[in-house]
């Protein structure tokens, strides 16, 4: 049996899986959000040949190639599937496009009629078969020591795009619907919980060993709404996945959760918590690390700047969190203007570091 296809059924040997299990590792595992992307010249070449961004996501041989590019360059301990959180609304039948200079643009859903027009969450996997083919290809082509991570957006964050029609600084459209008609808005969250479970399950069946749930806009919600629309949906997803795949490690990234992070970590039951840049490593060590594995949280702009300050702050994170279960990462994704050589320098620093 392929160990990639049976998470939790074999003793973890890979560095990242050992960290998520709370076991000792030889050095700190490292990967970076958006490690495949526009900062790499080899990615830009593939992207230019692919057509649209969604074409790239839905063409298995190209998505496989761009997922492998940073592994070849840097020797990361994990590869994360190249895809996008908005493939789920696309699979549900909402019109999604990625426009140059604008980012994602969706046909907004603003009422129950819009919800009724969506397809069945159970059929999401039919539309996304090319994505799972990419996962399967990666399961065979990645070096055996590299962990394969699947992912999806959290229901709240995906809903903000579905309702607002694009990214926004305040998520106003989704928040207003959630505040004015919370039970109606809950129907969209419930659809996304079911669709996300199906999407992540198909990735695990294709070979993903870990899944990460990205809730980029969790921090925009006040406490009671955070509990209902950010915490509870991820808890439900984790529990449903656990019933299907006992032992599957789940990492969540509730960006901006702040003081709610400890409660979120405990109540969702996720194995790993990814920290955004604003979280103090010392506070995280004292309040979160006893709950499980932490991941993070260097400012992506320090990776752009490089030099002594990047090294100083990276070492501070390592010295503060590296004695417990920990995966080195960024506090958000790599940005396009990042010099590739800075990534290489940071990876080497982490790989060479010892407590």
Per-residue pLDDT tens over the stretch 85-129: 999 999 999 999 998 888 999 999 999 999 999 999 999 999 999
What is the b/e burial string over 311-348, where b = at least 16 CB atoms within 10 angstroms of the residue's CB? eeebeebbebbbebbbbbbbbbbbeeebeeebbebbbe
Q: pLDDT digits over 237-259, tens only?
A: 999 999 999 999 999 999 999 99
Query: Per the domain annotation, does 355 fall within a domain?
Result: no
Q: What is the pTM of this model?
A: 0.96
| Domain extent at residue 305 | 3-350
Per-residue pLDDT band at 6 (split at 50, 70, 90): very low
Query: Per the domain annotation, does 112 fall within a domain?
Result: yes
Angle at 261 between CA 306 and CA 180, to 5 degrees: 110
Q: What is the CATH number of the domain that holds 93?
A: 3.20.20.210
Per-residue pLDDT band at 11 (split at 50, 70, 90): low
Query: Per the domain annotation, does 226 fall within a domain?
Result: yes
Closest CA to 72 of 299, 352, 257, 340: 340
DSSP tag of 8: T
Give the SS3 label for residue 84.
coil
Query: Per the domain annotation, does 119 fall within a domain?
Result: yes
**Which tokens in the block code for residue 292?**
């499980």
Give the SS3 label for residue 272.
strand
Query: Per the domain annotation, does 9 fall within a domain?
Result: yes
Count of structural domains, the chain:
1
Contacts of 198 (CB under 8 A, 6+ apart): 121, 122, 124, 125
- Give the residue numbers marked as catalytic: 34, 38, 47, 84, 161
The whole-angstrom separation of Cα 276 and Cα 111 is 32
């Amino acid at each position: 049996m392929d160990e990639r296809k049976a998470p939790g059924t074999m003793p973890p040997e890979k560095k990242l899986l050992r960290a998520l299990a709370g076991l000792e590792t030889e050095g700190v595992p490292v990967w970076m959000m958006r490690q495949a992307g526009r900062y790499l010249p080899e990615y830009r070449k593939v992207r230019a040949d692919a057509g649209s961004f969604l074409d790239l996501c839905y063409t298995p041989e190209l998505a496989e190639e761009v997922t492998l590019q940073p592994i070849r360059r840097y020797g990361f301990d994990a590869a994360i599937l190249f895809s996008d959180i908005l493939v789920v609304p696309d699979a549900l039948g909402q019109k999604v496009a990625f426009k140059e200079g604008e980012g994602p643009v969706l046909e907004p859903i603003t009422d129950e009629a819009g919800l009724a027009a969506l397809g069945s969450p159970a059929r999401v996997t039919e539309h996304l078969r090319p994505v799972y083919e990419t996962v399967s290809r990666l399961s065979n082509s990645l070096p055996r020591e590299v962990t394969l991570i699947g992912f999806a957006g959290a229901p709240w964050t995906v809903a903000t795009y579905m309702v607002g029609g694009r990214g926004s600084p305040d998520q106003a459209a989704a928040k207003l619907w959630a505040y004015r008609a919370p039970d109606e808005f809950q129907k969209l969250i419930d659809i996304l919980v079911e669709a996300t479970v199906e999407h992540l399950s198909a990735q695990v069946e294709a070979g993903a060993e870990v899944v990460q749930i990205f809730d980029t806009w969790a921090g925009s919600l006040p406490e009671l709404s955070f509990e209902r629309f950010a915490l509870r949906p991820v808890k439900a997803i984790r529990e449903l996945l656990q019933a299907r795949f006992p032992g599957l490690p789940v990492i969540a990234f509730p960006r901006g959760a702040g003081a709610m992070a400890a409660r979120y970590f405990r109540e969702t039951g996720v194995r790993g918590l990814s920290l955004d840049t604003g979280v103090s490593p010392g506070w995280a060590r004292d309040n979160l690390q006893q709950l499980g594995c932490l991941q993070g949280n260097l400012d992506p702009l320090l990776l752009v700047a490089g030099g002594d300050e990047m090294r100083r702050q990276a070492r501070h994170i390592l010295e503060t969190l590296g004695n417990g279960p920990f995966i080195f990462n960024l506090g958000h994704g790599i940005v396009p203007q990042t010099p590739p050589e800075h990534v290489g320098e940071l990876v080497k620093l982490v790989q060479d570091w010892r407590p």
